[in-house]
Amino acid sequence: MKRILVALDGSSESEQILGEVSRIGSRQTAVDLLHVLPRPHHEIPNVGAEVEDVAADCLRRAAGRIRERTVHTYLWRGEPEEEIPHAADVLKADLIAMTTHARRGLSSLLMGSVAQAVMRHSSLPILMTRPELVAPNRPLVRILVPVDGTEQSTGICSAVQDLAMESGAEVIFFQVLVPVLVVDPVTGFMPLGVPEPLPDPSAGLEELALRFRKQGILARTLVAHGTAADQILEQARKIDADLIAMSTSARRGLSRLVLGSVAEDVVRRMDRAVLLHRETSRSETPVHAQEVHAHGAD
């Protein structure tokens, strides 16, 4: 992992992601801090012409919190949901990092708006945290990887492998068996039960774990029954996972990991950092951004 793009908005809430960024990668991993301002014709009350100076100061302050990494800060103009994926492409980032649910700042990073739009427009993994979550002062130790038996749900594995190899973290491949209930065709409400036993996912999970172990990564498997999002969050707490890493592109399976359902529910209720990956075509965006400040930090 060579470069991480961190989206900030001038608020202390958005800077909460910096704690998680400091835990991943290595000293050779560069960090690009990006603040997207509205285009000049957009009026910002109570800020006026000083908005760029204020934003640049916020970026310099944030850069000072990142130790032993090369740090560059960028001030761009445009719409955050467009410019964040565009900047990641231009800067050749391997990962986008941002805080969700930040409610204030020059450009709020609200889940359901900017964060969700970035997910739609970028094929890169996106590291997310909530403003009130404090990152543990340690490298990654355990990564929980929920899958659902489909090839699409394993799209996150490449990013997880990079993180695990750099940090030495253990990877736990996890699948939730969600009961399949048959609805009474007459009443439409009364479940008649499970038509057949749910397939055992152990073999598929073990195959994933073995692939990682061959790379020198500590890996194991875990299976639980219940509701997908509930079990993902519960098992993450039980094993004290540092990160939940999951794909949002799977469209089928017993527990569909689709943005707008399981993945979004996990992000909304997360009590630790979440890494999401969704394969999607990148939107064309006009090149109208400008770097106004850059520096290196030892």
* 183-204 tens-digit pLDDT: 666 666 655 555 556 788 999 9
Is the pLDDT higher at 256 or at 129? 129
Helices (H), 168-227: 202-213
CA–CA distance, 227 with 242 (Å, rounded to integer): 21
Confidence band of 289 (pLDDT split at 50, 70, 90): very low
Please say whether the dihedral angle defined by the alpha carbons of residues 267, 279, 146 and 241, taken in this order, is positive or negative. negative
Confidence band of 274 (pLDDT split at 50, 70, 90): very high
- Select from 282, 283, 145, 140 the least CA-distant residue to 211: 145
- pLDDT of 151 reads 86
Helices (H), the chain: 17-21, 51-63, 80-90, 114-121, 157-167, 202-213, 228-238, 262-269
Give pTM, 2 decimals.
Answer: 0.83
pLDDT digits (tens, 9 = 90+) for 146-164: 998 888 889 999 999 999 9
Is the pLDDT higher at 121 or at 147? 147
Give the rounded percent of residues in the chain with a pLDDT score beyond 70.
76
Q: How many CB atoms lie within 10 A of CB 79?
A: 16
**pLDDT surpassing 80 at residue 286:** no
- pLDDT of 53 reads 87
Q: Which domains does the chain have, with CATH numbers?
A: 3-129 (3.40.50.620), 142-277 (3.40.50.620)
Is the pLDDT higher at 165 or at 46? 165
Cβ atoms 258, 278 nearer than 8 A: no
CA distances from 50 to 12, 47, 113, 147 (A): 19, 6, 26, 47
- Select from 22, 32, 25 the least CA-distant residue to 135: 22
- pLDDT of 215 reads 96
CA–CA distance, 209 with 174 (Å, rounded to integer): 10
**pLDDT surpassing 80 at residue 69:** yes
CA–CA distance, 25 with 30 (Å, rounded to integer): 9
